[in-house]
Structure 1
C-alpha cells in the first residue's frame, strides 16, 4: 500500500509558513551576511595591495593573518584568561550599575525632592569620560581590579539612570490617577504602573549602558590593567604584533555585540507585550 503524501505536504506547508512569518528576519540575516562578506573582501584587497589613499593600509594585517593569530590564540590559556577577566569585570560593573541606576531613576522620577537633590550632581559627573576617571579610581580603590570595575560601573551607570528617568517622565498621568482612584497605594502604583510603563526605556538604557561599559572597560584595562582583552590589545601594540591588535579589536566587538544581544533577549522575555 503506498505511503500517503500528506506528511510531506504538511511539512512543506509548515516550512513555507515559517519562511513567510520570518521573511523580514531572513532578509536581514542575508543582508548582514552579504555585508560582512563584502567587508572581508574589501579588507583583503586593501591589505594585499597595500593601498595608500588618505588612509594607509601598508601595516594593516590581512584577514588571513588575523585568522592565523586567532587559531594560535584560541589554544593559548592566557588569551582565554584575558577574555574571562574582561567578562567578569563587565558583569560586576554592569550589574552594580543596573541594581543602583534603575531603582534610583525610578525614585528620582517619582519624587521631585529626590530629583532636585541628586540630578545636578549626576549631570556634573555624567560628561566626564571614563579615561579621566582612571587616576581618581586608582586613588580611591586599593587594587587595580576594584578600580577597573568602578570605571566600568560609572560608564554604564549614567545611561541607565538617564533613560530610566526619561521613561518615568513619559508615564501617562491618567494611568496614575486611575490607579489612585481604585485605591492603589504608592507601592502598588510603582509596581503596576510606573515600572511596566518605564521598562522599554529602562532596557534601552541597559543596552546603551552595556556598550559604554565596554568602552570604559577597555580604556581602563589599557591604562591600568594587567589582564583583560584591552590589556591584550595594548600589549600587542607595544610588541608591534599587528595581527594581535586586530584580533583584540574584533574580540572586543564580538563580546560587546553578544552582551548587548543578551540584554535585548532578556528585555523580550520581560516585556512579552513588545514582541511582534
Structure 2
C-alpha cells in the first residue's frame, strides 16, 4: 500500500507539472506573436511612406518638370545607390563621416552638460547667458564656418568647432529644462538621504531629468548632423573621402544619380539615429510611468 500511494503521488505531481508547462508554452507563443505584431505595426507605415515617396518621385519625373539628366527617377537612382554601397570607398566615406559625427557630438555632450548644470544651479548665470543659449540654437550652423576656418584653417578642428556650437546649446537647454521640472519632493527626499555634491546629481537629479534630457540630446544630434554635412561640403580636407566630399564630387561632375544616392544615404542615417532616440525616449517614459505601454 505505501508503494502504491507513493506511485500515485508521483503521477499526480507529473500531471501538475504537465499542466503548468502547457500555459507557459502558450504564453510564449502569444508573446512571440504579440512581438511580431508590434514590429509589423511599427514597420508597415514606414514602408507605405517609402512607397508613396517613390511613386510621387517617379510621377514628377514622368511629368517632364526637369530632364532626367538633371532630375533622374528612382529607376535610375536606386541601382546607382546599390552599386555605391557595394564599394569599399562608400564604407570608407561612411566611416569618416560617422567618426566625425560621434566625436563632435561627444564633445558637444560634455560642453552641454557642464553648461546645463551650471545654468540650472546659478541664477545669475542663467540671467546672463540663458537668452544667449536660446539665440545660439536659432543660428544656422553655416554662419560659423568662415569664422571657424579663420580660427583653425581647413582642418578637422574647424568642423568640430561648428558641431559643438550647433549641438551644445540644445543639449544644455534640454538638461536645464529637465532639472527645472524635477519634483521638489524628490529633492527633499535626497536631502533626507544625505545626497550631496556630485552624488546628488548622479543619483537623483540627472536620472530624474532624463526624459527631457533625451529630447535635448535628440535635438542636439539633429543640429550636429546638419553642421557636419555643411562642414564636409565647405571644408574639404585634402580630398579626404567622406559623405560630404562625395556629394561635392557628384555636384562638380554633374552626376545627378550619384548625388541623389548620397542624399538618400544622409536621409537614411538621420532616420536611423532618430529611431534610436525615439526608442530611448519611449523606454525612459515607460520606466517613469509616463506612458502605459
Same fold (TM > 0.5): yes
Residue of structure 1 equivalent to 2:224: 213
CA distance in 1, matches of 2:67, 2:185: 59
TM-score (norm 1): 0.83
Q: Deviations over 1:146-196 (max 9, x none)?
A: 111221222211111111111111112232123224433243332333111
TM-score (norm 2): 0.79
CA distance in 2, matches of 1:129, 1:164: 22
Residue of structure 1 equivalent to 2:49: 35
CA distance in 2, matches of 1:193, 1:219: 38
Which residue of the other structure, out of 243, 252, 257, is the alignment partner of 2:266? Answer: 252
CA distance in 1, matches of 2:161, 2:37: 43
Residue of structure 2 equivalent to 1:112: 123
Residue of structure 1 equivalent to 2:246: 232
**How much does 1:67 deviate?**
2.0
Which residue of the other structure, out of 91, 94, 97, is the alignment partner of 2:105? Answer: 94
CA distance in 1, matches of 2:22, 2:196: 58
**How much does 1:94 deviate?**
0.4
Residues 102 and 202, structure 1, Cα contact 8 Å, conserved in 2:
no
Residue of structure 1 equivalent to 2:5: none
Residue of structure 1 equivalent to 2:84: 73
For residue 184 of structure 1, give the secondary structure of its aligned residue in structure 2: coil
For residue 72 of structure 2, give the secondary structure of its aligned residue in structure 1: coil
Q: Figure out how many residues of one structure are paired with residues of the other and give that number.
A: 268
Q: Deviations over 1:212-236 (max 9, x none)?
A: 2111111111122244212211321
Rg bigger for which structure? 2
Q: How does 1:163-202 map to 2 (within 5 A)?
A: 163-202=174-213
Q: Which range moves more in the overlay, 222-231 or 135-144?
A: 222-231
Give the CA RMSD over aligned residues: 3.0
Residue of structure 1 equivalent to 2:149: 138
Residue of structure 1 equivalent to 2:10: none
CA distance in 2, matches of 1:205, 1:39: 29
Residue of structure 2 equivalent to 1:3: none
